[in-house]
Amino acid sequence: MAKILFINPVVREEDVPRHIPYGIALLAAIAMKKGHLVQVYDANAHRLPIETIIEVCQADDWDAVCIGGLTTTYNYIKKACKLIKESAPNAQLIAGGGFLTSMPHEIFEWIPEIDVGCIGESFETFPEVLAKIDNKDFNYADVLGVIHRDLTGKSFLTNVRPNIKDLDTLPWPAWELFPLDIYFANSANLFSEESFTSKRRMDINGSFGCGLTCKYCWHLGTTGDMLVEENEHGDNDVVFTYGRNIRYHSADYIVSMVKHLHDKYDIDFAAFIDENLMTMDVASKGTWLKDLCNKWIEAGLQPTCRQKGIPHDENCKGVHWNGTSHAGLHRPETLKLMFEAGCTHLVYGLESFDPTVLRNLGKGSNARKNKQSIATCLASGIKPIPNIIIGFPEESFESVRNTIEALVELGITAKPHFATAYPGSEWYYAYKDSIMEQYDNDLEAYIMDLGDASKITATISHEFSPMQLLGLQQIVYLKDLRLLDLSEKHWAPVQHELSPMIQPKLSFNLKTVKEAGPLAS
C-alpha cells in the first residue's frame, strides 16, 4: 500500500487557523479506507517556518505527497512544491483543489514540480491515482479528471470525471489526523453571542452546489458546472457553465455525524460551510432543512437555551450552528424551526442594494427582497450577517448611494469587500485581458496577490479607479452620504470624459448555458 503524506497549506496568514480542511480530511479518510498508509502535516495549524516541510518530507519514504487548496493558498503551495520535490524526489507530487481546477494548464506551467493533479471532484479520481502509484504506473492518461505531463513536461487534461451521485456513500472526514486543539482554541468568532462563546467549533459540509449564477462565484468544479473541451490550440481545457448537479447529504448522515462529533470531541458549535443552505432546501422542495432541524432536536443536539426559551449563557448544553442563506429563498417557518434547533446566524450575500447591480449579478434577488430579508431573519431570532461588495462592473455613484441608504435604513455597518474576479468565475473570464493589463501581463502576479477580497487587486469596475474605490469603501463604512455627494459633484462631470478602465470580453472557458457535466449512474 502506498505511503502518503498530506500537507495542508497555510491559509490567510494574517489570521489564526480557524478551519480544519474539510476536503483534505475527507480525502485522507478515503485513502485510509482503501488501505493506504497516511500521515498529515497541517502547516496551517502549526504555522512553523516553511522549511519544516523538508523535515516532514524526510520522515519516511513517501510514495506520494499531496497538497491542495483554494487559489488564495497559491503562494504557499508554490514554495512548498519546490521544497517537496527537493526533499522527497522519489514521491509523486499530487495537487488538487480550487487553485488547480480553475486554471490547470497555467498552474502546471508555473509549478513544474507537480506530477499529477486532480481536477474538480476528486473522491474517485484521487484513489484511482493512488492505485496507479501503488502499482508504480505513472502514466495517468487513462484516469478521468486529471492533469498530467508527458516527458517534455507538457500538460494534458483528461476528460471530465462524473460527479458521484450519492454523497452519503462518502466516509466522514478523518478529523483525528489534525491538531484539533489548535483549531478549538480559535473556535470563537464575532457573528453571534453563541459563536462568540463557542469553545469547540467544527465545520460540516452538507451539500455541493447552488442553483444560482452569481458572476463572482464558482463551485470548484464539484457541482456539475465543469466540462472539458478542446480549446483553440486543440488541447483539452476546462470550461465552466451554469450547469448543476445539485447534491446533498441526508439529514440522517449529517445529524449522526454531528452527534458523533458532540460525543467524541464535545463540540458546542457546528458551522455549515455549504455554499447556500437555502438553494439546497429549494432543491429538496422545502423538506431538507425541516428534516435536518427535526432530527437535530430528536438526537438531543438542540441547545438547552433554545429548548427552555432562555438566554444563552455558559451553562448551555448542546450544539449551536450557523450557515448560509439567501434573501429571496428563506421562509419564516423554516427560519423559526432552524432557530429552535440552535441556528445562531446566517450569512446573506446581499452584496448591494442597487437594482442594476443586482439584476446583472445572477443572484436572483432584488433590493426589496434584500431589505426584507434582514427583518424576516431578525424576527426569527437568528442573526443575519449581510455581506456587502463595492466595485461591481456597473458600479456608479447612484448604486453606491442606494447601498448606503439601505444600510442606514436597516442599521447595518459594513466595511464592504471589493468585487474580485477569482479564477473560475464568470468575471475572471470576462475581464482576464483587463486583469493582465493591470498586472503588466503577469497573470501569476495577480494570482499571488489574491486574498479574501478585503483589498483591491485588479479593478473590474468600468467607471471607478482603485483610488476612488478605496475612498468609496470608507464612505460606505461611514455611511456618509455628504462625502458621497461631494465626491460625485467633483468627479461625475469628468467621469464620462474618461475612457472606461475595463472592458469585458467573451471567453472560451465560459459558457453561459445550463449544460451540466456528467453525473455517475
Partner 1 sequence: MSDLLKGNFTTKKQVSAPSETANEDSLETKFKKAALNSIGGSMVYVERTDLTWDGEE
Contact set with partner 1 (CB under 8 A) = 3, 5, 32, 37-42, 46-49, 52, 55-56, 58-61, 176-179, 182
- Grid coordinates given for 120: 474538480
Residue 217 interacts with ligand SF4 (CB under 6 A): yes or no: yes
Judged by CB under 6 A, the number of residues near ligand SF4 is: 10
CB of 418 to partner 1, least distance (A): 19
> Which of residues 30, 93, 129, 214 is near ligand SF4 by CB under 6 A?
214
For cell 496551517, the residue is: 44
Half-sphere exposure of 490 (CA within 13 A, CB side): 7
Q: Using CB atoms within 10 A of its CB, is residue 318 exposed (0-12), middle (13-18) or buried (19+)?
A: buried
Spatial contact of 212 and 244, defined as CB atoms under 8 Å apart: no
Of residues 349 through 368, those in contact with ligand SF4 by CB under 6 A are: 349, 363
Q: Which of 466, 450, 470 is nearest to 502 (CA)?
A: 466
CB of 14 to partner 1, least distance (A): 8
Residue 47 contact, options partner 1, ligand SF4, none, Cβ 5-8 Å cut-off depending on partner type: partner 1
CB of 362 to ligand SF4, least distance (A): 7
Neighbours of 311 (CB within 10 A): 8
CB of 52 to partner 1, least distance (A): 7
CB of 94 to partner 1, least distance (A): 16
> Which of residues 81, 212, 239, 358 is near ligand SF4 by CB under 6 A?
212
CB of 331 to ligand SF4, least distance (A): 17
CB of 168 to ligand SF4, least distance (A): 22
| Residue number with CB closer to partner 1 (182 or 299) | 182
Spatial contact of 111 and 81, defined as CB atoms under 8 Å apart: yes
CB of 6 to partner 1, least distance (A): 9
Q: What residues pair up with 163 in beta bridges, in sequence order? A: 519
Which 3 state secondary structure label does DSSP give 4? strand
Dist CA 52 CA 113 (whole Å): 18
For cell 507530487, the residue is: 93
Residue 210 interacts with ligand SF4 (CB under 6 A): yes or no: yes
Half-sphere exposure of 161 (CA within 13 A, CB side): 27
Q: Which of 230, 82, 223 is nearest to 156 (CA)?
A: 230
> Which of residues 128, 275, 281, 463 is near ligand SF4 by CB under 6 A?
275
CB of 16 to partner 1, least distance (A): 10
Residue 52 contact, options partner 1, ligand SF4, none, Cβ 5-8 Å cut-off depending on partner type: partner 1
What residue type is assigned to position 520 of the chain? Answer: A
Of residues 289 through 328, those in contact with ligand SF4 by CB under 6 A are: 326
Q: Which of 332, 336, 365, 334 is nearest to 349 (CA)?
A: 365
| Residue number with CB closer to ligand SF4 (189 or 213) | 213
Dist CA 48 CA 19 (whole Å): 17
- Grid coordinates given for 300: 438531543
| Residue number with CB closer to partner 1 (83 or 374) | 83
Of residues 483 through 512, those in contact with ligand SF4 by CB under 6 A are: none
Give the sign of the dihedral formed by CA 204, CA 168, CA 130, CA 517: negative
| Residue number with CB closer to partner 1 (60 or 113) | 60
Which 3 state secondary structure label does DSSP give 203? strand
Residue 217 contact, options ligand SF4, partner 1, none, Cβ 5-8 Å cut-off depending on partner type: ligand SF4
CB of 19 to partner 1, least distance (A): 17
Provide CB contacts within 8 A for 290, sequence distance 6+: 334, 337
157-243-433 Cα angle (round to 5): 60
Residue 263 contact, options partner 1, ligand SF4, none, Cβ 5-8 Å cut-off depending on partner type: none
Residue 214 contact, options partner 1, ligand SF4, none, Cβ 5-8 Å cut-off depending on partner type: ligand SF4
Cα–Cα distances in angstroms (integers) from residue 428 to residues 113, 270, 446, 497, in the given order? 26, 32, 11, 27
Residue 61 contact, options partner 1, ligand SF4, none, Cβ 5-8 Å cut-off depending on partner type: partner 1
Residue 59 contact, options ligand SF4, partner 1, none, Cβ 5-8 Å cut-off depending on partner type: partner 1
What residue ranges bind ligand SF4 (CB under 6 A)? 210, 212-214, 217, 275-276, 326, 349, 363
